[in-house]
Structure 1
Amino acid sequence: MIEICKKYDCVGCGACISACNKRAIFMHPDSLGFLYPVIDQKRCVDCGLCVKSCFNNHKPTFIEPLKTCVGHVLKVEEQVTSTSGGLASVFMREIINNEGVVYGCSGENAHEVKHIRIENIDDVNKLKGSKYVQSFMGLTCNSVVQDLKANRTVLFIGTPCQVAGLKAYLKGKEYDNLFMVDFVCHGVPSQQILNDAIDAKVADNGNLRLVNRVKEGGKESKYTLRLLKEGKIAYDQAYPSMGYITGFLSGLYYRENCYQCQFARRERVSDITLGDFWDRHDDVKGLNNKKDGLSMIMVNTENGKKLMSMCKDSCELVEWDYEDFIKRNGQLKQPIRRHPKRDQFEELYCSKGFQSAIKESLRGDLNRIRKIILFNLIDSTLSTIPIIKIIYKQLKLIK
């Protein structure tokens, strides 16, 4: 009997499903709803293609970035409707305008967050924004290859492990017409947990669009579980609260593999890595509209440099020290810690459901989180005072 990889090494990227010519592999949920591959032995012919397609059996190639910068798109409308600086939107539009195709995560159906293929500019909005849940890949890897073989330019956007899954499926073959973009990832909850959180709060929950980051009134984007129905807000629960978004940011119910993630490191696997850049101390100079959100950008490969060059007229950038990125973002150093009540949450979730499980498991977290938010607010406010700004700069020089 074939074992594709050890269960808790599996990231659910779906490369093995795409690799199987006999369609003998399907994804089966565990008690928390995380999907793992199961082989139908009646269809399996022991060809081993699934094993060969799994990056856990072939160490991924990690790359130190060639160039790092901070920036945002030039179009303000694009910027304010994006999670941070809007660079992913620029990449998507550039590829589609050159008759290419884009693969990315869509939250158009909050109950079925998944990777989709688009080739129409009007569909870019389907992929915009953060979705704090694991997207279903299905046969995406197979579809990407079909487009590459048809000489279409392809942009793939996903988590680092999804990029690594696609690269493993390609068996190391390089394509000049393939651009891969990942982002600094904290970890992923399951679709089942998200669905339970939604169903507990919204009675009439058909056709809901998922939004997890919101910019309003020129302020820093906030974390939320917002659900839209026909363009109107059906539910909105902002962080911190006793709910899904706080559990996510606390690392309470990530996929088990996320707590030992091999991609939470300074070296990257994609052509370009994107992340949030919070400029709370007004460190960034030379950008015209940083108030509406900034991205940190890691250009990792020559292909990544090529994509950035294609988009140079659509964005504004300043070079930045990579070591500063790493200081600002823990997931460029190590995985998020496993929440001390992760096991308790799982036990309660299976016996009493999501609402009871999160209420009990997050009880001690909220006060700590609110203190951190208050400290950050005070810190940001003080940093606007001229004399305090000078002191901050002197402290940085000492460091």
Structure 2
Amino acid sequence: MIEICKKQDCVGCGACLSACNKDAITMQPDALGFLYPKIDQGKCINCGLCAKSCFNNNKPAYNEPIDTCVGYAVNIGEQVSSTSGGLASVFMGTILKNGGLVYGCSGENARKIKHIRIENPEDIDKLRGSKYVQSYMGQIYKNVVADLCADRTVLFIGTPCQVAGLKAYLRGKTYENLYTVDFVCHGVPSQQILNNAIDAKVNEREGLRLVNRVKEGSKESKYTLRLIKNGQVVYDDTYPSKGYITGFLCGLYYRENCYQCQFARRERVSDVTLGDFWDRFDNVKGLANKKDGLSMIMANTEVGKKLLSMCEDSYAHAEWDYEDFIRRNGQLKQPIRRHPKRDQFEKIYATAGYDTALSETLHQDLKNIRKNILLNAISSIINRTPVVRTIYKKLRNR
């Protein structure tokens, strides 16, 4: 019997599912709803394509970024409506306007977050924004290859492990018409956990759109679990709270593999990596609209540099030191730590459900979060007020 990879190493990317020509593989949920491949031995012919298409058996190529900068979309609408600087929207728009295709994660159906294919610029909004849950891939990789073989230019956007899954599925074959973009990823909860959180707060079963980051008032985006139906907000749970978004940011219920993620490192697997850039202390100079959101931008390959060059008239940028990106973002150094109450959450979840498990495991986190918010507010005041900053430095140096 074929073992695709060890369960603790599986990221649920679905490359094995796409690789199987006999439909012998299905993705089945565990107790927390995370999907793992299951082989139907009655259909399996032991060809080994599934194992050959798993990056755990064929380690991906990593690249240290070639060029790094901070920037934002020149189109103010793209910048403001996006999570940070709107660079993903810039990439999508450029590819689509030149007759290409985009594959990315859609939040249009909050109860089934999945990767979809778009080919019209008016559909970019379906992919815009952060979705803090694992996206279902289905047969996406197979579809990507079909488009590549039809000489269509393809932009694939996903988590680092989803990009690695695509490259493993390609089994070493390269395509000049493929561009890959990943983002700095904390980790992913399951769709089942998200659905539990939705069920606990709203009665609507259909037509809910998921939003996990919003820019309102101040242009710095806020973390939230927002559900929208027919253009109206039906539920909004902004961090910090006792809800889903706080559990996510604390790493309480990520996929087990996320706590040992091989992609949480300075070397990257995609052509371009994007991330948030917070300029709270006004260090970035020469970018007029930086207050409306900035992105970290890392070109990791020559293909990535080519993509940025194609978009050069659509985004403003300033060169930035990659070591500073790493200092600011822990996931460019190492995976997030496994939450000390992860096992407790899973145990309570199995017997009492999501709401009870969450409320009984987040107490200390909420205390720490409120303390840090206060300390950050004080630090911000000190750093933005020259007189106070001078007095503070003198007192500290005594």
Please say whether Structure 1 and Structure 2 have the same fold, judged by a TM-score greater than 0.5: yes
Q: What amino acid sits opposite 1:361 in the alignment?
A: T
TM-score using structure 2 length: 0.97
Shift of 1:174: 1.2
Post-superposition CA distance 1:182-216 (Å, at most 9, x none): 00000000000000000000012321000000000
Q: d(CA) in 1 for partners of 2:94 and 2:392?
A: 40
Equivalence map 1:215-254=2 (5 Å) = 215-254=215-254
Kindly provide the amino acid, as one letter, of the partner of residue 139 in structure 1.
Answer: Q
Partner deviation per Cα, 1:330-379 (whole Å, 9 max, x = no partner): 00000000000000000011100000000001011101011111212222
Distance in structure 2 (CA, Å) of the matches to 1:168 and 1:392:
53
d(CA) in 2 for partners of 1:103, 1:69: 24
CA distance in 2, matches of 1:96, 1:162: 21
Q: Structure 1-normalised TM-score?
A: 0.97
1:96-115 CA-to-partner distances (Å, cap 9, x unmatched) read: 00000000000000000000
Q: Which residue of 2 aligns with 1:168?
A: 168
Residue 358 (structure 2) pairs with residue 355 (structure 1): no
Q: What is the 5 A alignment of 1:290-329?
A: 290-329=290-329
Aligned mates of 2:204, 2:88 — CA distance in 1 = 32
The aligned residue for residue 263 of structure 2 is 263
Q: Which residue of 2 aligns with 1:158?
A: 158
1:293-335 CA-to-partner distances (Å, cap 9, x unmatched) read: 1000010000000000000000000000000000000000000
Please show how residues 102-181 of structure 1 align to structure 2 within 5 Å.
Answer: 102-181=102-181
Give how far 1:169 is off.
0.4
Tell me: CA distance 1:391–1:189, structure 2 relative to 1, closer, same or farther (3 Å).
Answer: farther
Cα–Cα, structure 1 residues 325 and 23, in superposed 2: closer, same or farther, change >3 Å? same
| Identity between Structure 1 and Structure 2 (%) | 72
Counterpart of 1:189 in structure 2 is 189
**In the alignment, residue 94 of structure 2 is paired with which amino acid?**
E
Q: Structure 1 residue 382: deviation in Å?
A: 2.4
Q: CA RMSD in A?
A: 1.5
* Structure 1 letter corresponding to 2:148: L
Give the corresponding residue for 2:46: 46
Q: Quick one: which amino acid aligns to residue 228 of structure 1? A: I
Match of 1:3 in 2: 3
Distance in structure 1 (CA, Å) of the matches to 2:212 and 2:320: 27
1:98 and 1:388 map into 2 onto residues whose CA distance is 52
- 8 Å CA contact retained: 2:382, 2:392: no
**Unaligned runs of at least 5 residues, structure 1:** 395-399
Q: After the TM superposition, which of the residue ranges 372-381 and 107-116 deviates more from structure 2? A: 372-381
For 2:379 and 2:104, locate their aligned partners in 1 and report how far apart those are by CA, in whole Å.
36
Determine the structure 1 residue equivalent to 2:370.
370
Cα separation, 2, equivalents of 1:86 and 1:387: 35
Q: Structure 1 pair 310/388, CA: closer, same or farther in 2 (3 Å)?
A: farther
Deviation at 1:393, TM superposition (A): 11
Q: Is the 8 A contact 1:383 1:392 kept in 2?
A: no
Specify the code of the residue in structure 1 equivalent to 2:52: K
| Residue 68, structure 1, aligned to residue 46, structure 2 | no
Aligned to 1:213: 213
Tell me the CA shift for residue 172 of structure 1.
Answer: 1.2
TM-superposed deviation, 1:390: 7.1
Gaps of 5+ in 2: none
Q: Distance in 2 between matches of 1:108 and 1:155?
A: 20
How many matched pairs?
395
Letter of the 1:360 counterpart: E
Question: Which one-letter code corresponds to 1:65 in the other structure?
Answer: P
- Hey, what's the Cα distance between the residues in 1 that align with 2:248 and 2:51? 31
The equivalent of 1:397 in structure 2 is: none
Q: CA offsets, 1:117-154, max 9 Å, x none? A: 00011110000000000000000100000000000000
Equivalent runs, 1:375-394 vs 2, <5 Å = 375-387=375-387
* Secondary structure at the counterpart of residue 57 of structure 1: coil
Deviation at 1:219, TM superposition (A): 3.2
Distance 2:96 2:46 in 1: 39
Whole-angstrom CA distance in 2 between matches of 1:21 and 1:36: 18
Following TM superposition, the consecutive aligned residue runs of length 4 or more in structure 1 with deviations greater than 3 angstroms are 387-394
Match of 2:87 in 1: 87
- Structure 1 residues 134 and 391, CA, compared in 2 at 3 Å: closer, same or farther? farther
Cα 1:393/1:183, change in 2 over 3 Å: farther
Given the superposition, is the C-alpha separation of residues 306 and 390 from structure 1 closer, same or farther in structure 2, using an over 3 Å criterion? farther
Partner of 1:338: 338
Equivalent pair of 2:131/2:210 in contact (CA under 8 Å): yes
Give the direction of change, closer, same or farther, for the CA distance of 1:182–1:391 in structure 2 (3 Å limit).
farther
Q: After alignment, is 28-37 or 368-377 more displaced?
A: 368-377
